[in-house]
Structure 1
């Protein structure tokens, strides 16, 4: 158990002293960029899904006829 506690305390110490954290303004702007690209990617995925759903529906309706 002492090894686990030592590992966790050393990890926190390294995070405090050796990691370079970005400025808050940079974090905000990058978060906005990630959110915008996430929405765009979701819309693109939805569009491709709708296209293939309609294409398959049309293909199977063509086979029935």
Structure 2
């Protein structure tokens, strides 16, 4: 158990002393970019899914008739 506590303690010390953290304004800007990209990607995925669903439905309607 001591090894686990020591590992966690050293990990926090590493994060405090050796990691260069970005400025708050940069974090906000990058968060907005990621959020916008996520929404655009989700809409693109939804659009492709809808087109594929309609294409498959059309193929099945051709087969039925």
TM-score normalized by the length of structure 1: 0.99
For structure 1, which runs of at least 5 residues remain unmatched after alignment? none
Root-mean-square deviation (CA), in Å?
0.3
Counterpart in the other structure of 1:47: 47
- Post-superposition Cα deviations, 1:26-45, rounded to whole Å, max 9, x if no partner, equal 00000000000000000000
- Post-superposition Cα deviations, 1:4-50, rounded to whole Å, max 9, x if no partner, equal 11000000000000000000000000000000000000000000000
Instruction: Report the Cα distance in structure 2 between the residues aligned to 1:5 and 1:50, rounded to whole angstroms.
Output: 51
Aligned pairs, how many? 65
TM-score normalized by the length of structure 2: 0.99
